[in-house]
Amino acid sequence: MSYYLKKYWIANLLAILPGLVVCALQVGNDLLMMRVFESVIKFDLRGFLFWELMMAGAWVLLLWIGSLRDYFQARAIRAMNNAVRRDMAATLLHKSHVEFHGKDTGEYLSWFVSDVNQMEDLAWTPFYQCVDLAATAIFCVVALLTLHWSLLVAALVNAAVMLLAPQFFTKRMEKLGEACETEQAKATGKLKDLLSGFDVLRSFGREPRFCQGAEAASEQIEKPRFRLRYVKAFITAGFGCVNIGCQMLINLLIGVLSIRGVILQGALMGGGNLVGGLSNSVGSLAQYLLSFSATKPYFDKITVRGDSAGDEESGVLPEIGSAITVRDLSFQYDEKPVLLDLSLTFQKGGKYALTGPSGCGKSTLLKLLLGWLPDYSGSIQFDGQDAHGFTPEQLQQRMSYIEQNVFLFNTTIRDNITLGEDFSDEQMEKALEGSALLGDLAAMPEGLDTPVGEDGSNLSGGQKQRVAIARALIHDRSILLVDEGTSALDQKNAGIVEESLLANPELTLILVSHHLTRERKGQFTGVYDLEPAASFPQSA
């Protein structure tokens, strides 16, 4: 939390300064109220009107400056929320493939929405309120000193009681805040799952399950929030009772001092407000400190901070000059072996097909080459250099991966191919020809600027795969890994795409396929037929 407050210290300073003026005016109005009351007691009409006008002017000024304070606070909160989301994104980028996919995307979505909202409610807004409360307390101290020192002492004793008492509940609030965050993340994942399966439930007449699931997820979100709120409310009520008792004793002190003529009789009107302002400010300050402790689980998730987060240079994998070699490679998911003592060679510029039954590890091998699954035995080497010496990001600077279930962003075909980078018309034309996408674009009025819809819903499965292939080709990766990347294409277009890939002398192609004709197999440099690891005899 403190990191973001310091990072945007100028914005926060602009948000704080008007608030200090507002606090000073509020305390000043209590002093003016004493003068008004004193004028009434003395039957001083001129004084009464003068101090009333002063109070009215102070209130008008307070309202306008208060609006200015709200504007600058909203602007600072927007900047900090954006910074938090940027750092959340960088934190996700620093996760490995296994770590990232260890959680449901619904949980990550809750980071960017629910968590940031909680940070705003429990951290940013309370921070500004704490500053205002601290300023009010200081101004009240000064004002009380102008009346009598004993009032200040009494107010400080009251404030100390209100400040120390909440410390006994800090741990409790932290646990409640953590529980709230955890349950909200789980519920968001369930809602995402329900929405993804909307059509399935509807087609089977299971609409009640959709509504029941949404209701259950809603309850999972609201229950911990309700618990957090009512516990905080009961704690606040208890503190309020203690505060009332203290203020009654202080009001008695003010009455005695006024009757004896030690202080203005007008202090009976405004003195209690000053004492209450001090004790309430300190007491409320303690309450907001509890809010800060409840935000700890949210900020703890962010492990990468700073404008350059996620942008650091990690070096570049040298261009493959000879071959990729796999030696005695074994891999298993939990206790299930997938690959066992596999040895293969992929020469630079070669075209290779991986075939075999489902579960034999074809897709797993591609992910191992990409560096997504680092926990394997044996070796993967690029020109004799061990793959463990490179990060997945470095490996992917030379490799592009096309999987069967293609993901497209909800933008245009052009943007899904270029991913926001600039390419020449010649590069675009070459990529469109190589992916057999030109014919489809000719039938689309908006061409490359055609919106693809959410997850490519406006395109057919074959068109989505052609877009993914064009994306890989235009980014000029020297090694292309294709996992059933032409499975949704008709025979003609699949032939065009495969011919284009096979004819590229600069491209090292490793293609997973279940259906290769004998003629097509003959066009590959090598065809590796993998067998399930379970079919190999296991050593005792």
Does the pLDDT of residue 522 top 80, yes or no? yes
d(CA 72, CA 98): 42
- pLDDT the model gives residue 328: 92
Tokens of 365: 């091998």
- pLDDT the model gives residue 30: 78
Mean per-residue pLDDT for 325-338? 87
Architecture (CATH level 2) of domain 323-535:
3-Layer(aba) Sandwich (3.40)
Alpha helix ranges (H) inside 148-206: 149-164, 170-196, 198-203
Lowest pLDDT segment from 209-218, 281-290, 347-356, 500-509: 281-290
Mean per-residue pLDDT for 201-209? 69
Distance of CA 411 to the CA centre of its chain: 22
d(CA 367, CA 512): 12
d(CA 185, CA 177): 13
How many other CB atoms sit within 10 Å of the CB of residue 229?
A: 13
In contact, 81 and 116? CB cutoff 8 Å: yes
- In a 3-state reduction of DSSP, which class is residue 113? helix
pLDDT-derived band at 226, boundaries 50, 70, 90? confident
pLDDT-derived band at 538, boundaries 50, 70, 90? very low
- pLDDT the model gives residue 539: 40
Question: Which of 31-35, 67-71, 114-118, 513-517 holds the top average pLDDT?
Answer: 67-71
Percent of the chain at pLDDT above 90?
A: 6
Does the pLDDT of residue 87 top 50, yes or no? yes
Does the pLDDT of residue 82 top 80, yes or no? yes
Mean pLDDT taken over the chain: 80
Q: What are phi and psi of 301, to 5 degrees?
A: -70, -30
pLDDT-derived band at 413, boundaries 50, 70, 90? very high
- pLDDT the model gives residue 91: 85
d(CA 468, CA 472): 6
d(CA 369, CA 477): 14
- 294 Cβ contact partners less than 8 Å away, ≥ 6 residues apart: 122, 173, 174, 176, 177, 180, 228
Amino acid at 103: K
**DSSP category for residue 31:** H
Does the pLDDT of residue 500 top 50, yes or no? yes
Domain with CATH 3.40.50.300 in the chain: 323-535
CA-angle at 367, arms to 361 and 373, nearest 5°: 100
Question: Which of 96-100, 233-237, 360-364, 488-492 holds the top average pLDDT?
Answer: 360-364
pLDDT-derived band at 64, boundaries 50, 70, 90? very high
The torsion of the CA quartet 191, 197, 203, 205, rounded to 10 degrees, works out to -40
The torsion of the CA quartet 144, 149, 151, 156, rounded to 10 degrees, works out to 90
Q: Are strands 336-347 and 323-333 parallel, antiparallel or unpaired?
A: antiparallel
User: What residues are paired with 480 via a beta bridge?
Assistant: 400, 509
Domain with CATH 1.20.1560.10 in the chain: 2-300
Nearest partner of 141 among 309, 282, 320, 338, judged by Cα: 282
Mean per-residue pLDDT for 177-206? 75
d(CA 469, CA 497): 8
CA atoms within 13 A on the CB side of 501: 35
Distance of CA 369 to the CA centre of its chain: 30
Does the pLDDT of residue 310 top 70, yes or no? no
**DSSP category for residue 320:** P
**DSSP category for residue 506:** T
- pLDDT the model gives residue 404: 75
The more confidently predicted of residues 207 and 383 is: 383
pLDDT-derived band at 489, boundaries 50, 70, 90? low
Alpha helix ranges (H) inside 338-391: 362-369
In contact, 322 and 347? CB cutoff 8 Å: yes
- 175 Cβ contact partners less than 8 Å away, ≥ 6 residues apart: none
Over the stretch 124-175, which tens digit does the pLDDT of each residue have? 888 888 888 888 888 877 877 777 777 777 777 776 776 676 666 667 777 7
Does the pLDDT of residue 52 top 80, yes or no? yes
Nearest partner of 301 among 121, 94, 124, judged by Cα: 94
**DSSP category for residue 321:** S
Lowest pLDDT segment from 87-101, 121-135, 265-279, 345-359: 265-279
Percent of the chain at pLDDT above 70?
A: 84
What superfamily would CATH give domain 2-300? ABC transporter type 1, transmembrane domain (1.20.1560.10)
- pLDDT the model gives residue 345: 92
The more confidently predicted of residues 159 and 469 is: 469
Tokens of 111: 């980071």
- 33 Cβ contact partners less than 8 Å away, ≥ 6 residues apart: 55, 266, 269, 270, 273
- pLDDT the model gives residue 214: 85
- pLDDT the model gives residue 279: 67
Does the pLDDT of residue 86 top 90, yes or no? no
Does the pLDDT of residue 375 top 90, yes or no? no
pLDDT-derived band at 350, boundaries 50, 70, 90? very high
d(CA 519, CA 497): 15
Does the pLDDT of residue 359 top 90, yes or no? no
- pLDDT the model gives residue 486: 63
Nearest partner of 438 among 396, 384, 493, judged by Cα: 493
Nearest partner of 122 among 57, 173, 168, judged by Cα: 173
Long-range contacts at 312-317 (CB < 8 A, ≥ 24 apart)? 314/391, 314/393, 314/394, 315/394, 316/394, 316/397, 317/382, 317/390, 317/394, 317/395, 317/397, 317/398
Nearest partner of 157 among 147, 149, 169, judged by Cα: 149
Lowest pLDDT segment from 67-81, 303-317, 335-349, 424-438: 303-317
